[in-house]
Amino acid sequence: MAMLTILAVADRIAHVEGWMQQAFYPVLLLILVAASLGVPLPEDIPLIAAGVLLRTNPEIASWQGTIAVALVGIMVGDLVLYMLGRRWGPEVLKHRYICWFLTPDRFARISRRFHRHGTWFCFFGRFLMGIRAAMCITAGATHFPYWRFLLADLAGATVSAPLFLLLGYWFAGMIPTLLHYLADAETSAFAVAVVAAALFVLAYRTRKQRRARRIAALRAASDRDGPASNTNSSPAPRPPADSRRSVPSIETERSQSR
């Protein structure tokens, strides 16, 4: 499972890398803004892809410009989410775009963490994939101080963005190998899926046939037992006429004899 996850990440990195080769800075900026706004694409992916391009195509961009564009893209998305939360408060959870990644229960848990840890939670929340967008909205909805949020979020982004760029730069040579493994894994997964589907259909048909034979046997047995039970059963004997007299008539005869 972990290997498949790594291969899927490598495939995404390769796709984003292809987009960045067309227009490095604009694509990096747009993807990071979208990722910060909660689009289901972790901001780590474009940062790692940017690091890979800085290693394989050094002339495409500079480190200073890449870090600056990355920080701008990250902070723009985070501040937009913060202002939405601050403007609408807890009512923002009712929005159909927000409610799919920030439920009321999750909002309550993050709010308690803000009250308990404050600025530190805002700083370390940038390193937790899947909680960043929810953290920014909750900070605004709970009226966490703007300048404390800005400084803590910027400090976290200043650490996380260069870190993922360096990861992409260091492991750039592994991407082609991972993509080769991904192609082999896709072929193997398809073959396994076909075999599993065939086994499932075979098991289903076998079970269905066994059930049909069992039902047919039960019906045949009930048909054989039915006439015999009707033949053996005889009507119950009727009681004698004297025994059918009612209790009040017997009492009447006794009174008359007296």
Question: What's the confidence (pLDDT) of residue 1?
Answer: 44
pLDDT above 60 for 234: no
**pLDDT value at position 221?**
76
% pLDDT > 90, the chain = 15
State the Cα–Cα distance between residues 101 and 113, nearest whole angstrom: 17
pLDDT at 38 over 50: yes
pLDDT at 190: 44
Report how far apart, in Å, the C-alpha atoms of 188 and of each of 2, 6, 11, 114, 132 are: 16, 16, 16, 46, 35
The stretches of 22-145 forming alpha helices (DSSP H) are 24-36, 44-56, 63-88, 104-117, 119-124, 132-141
In the predicted model, what is the mean pLDDT of residues 202-221? 79
pLDDT at position 167: 85
Angle at 170 between CA 125 and CA 25, to 5 degrees: 70
Q: Is the pLDDT of residue 176 over 70?
A: no
pLDDT at 128 over 60: yes
Closest CA to 78 of 123, 119, 115, 33: 33
- Of the listed ranges 60-74, 76-90, 101-115, 172-186, the least confidently predicted one is 172-186
User: First CA to last CA across the chain, in angstroms?
Assistant: 102
Give the pLDDT mean for 222-231.
Answer: 62
Mean of per-residue pLDDT scores for the chain: 75
Inter-residue contact 134 to 110 (CB < 8 Å): yes
Question: Model's pTM, two decimal places?
Answer: 0.61
Band of pLDDT at residue 179, cut at 50, 70 and 90: very low
Q: Please say if the pLDDT value at position 201 is more than 50.
A: yes
pLDDT of residue 13: 62
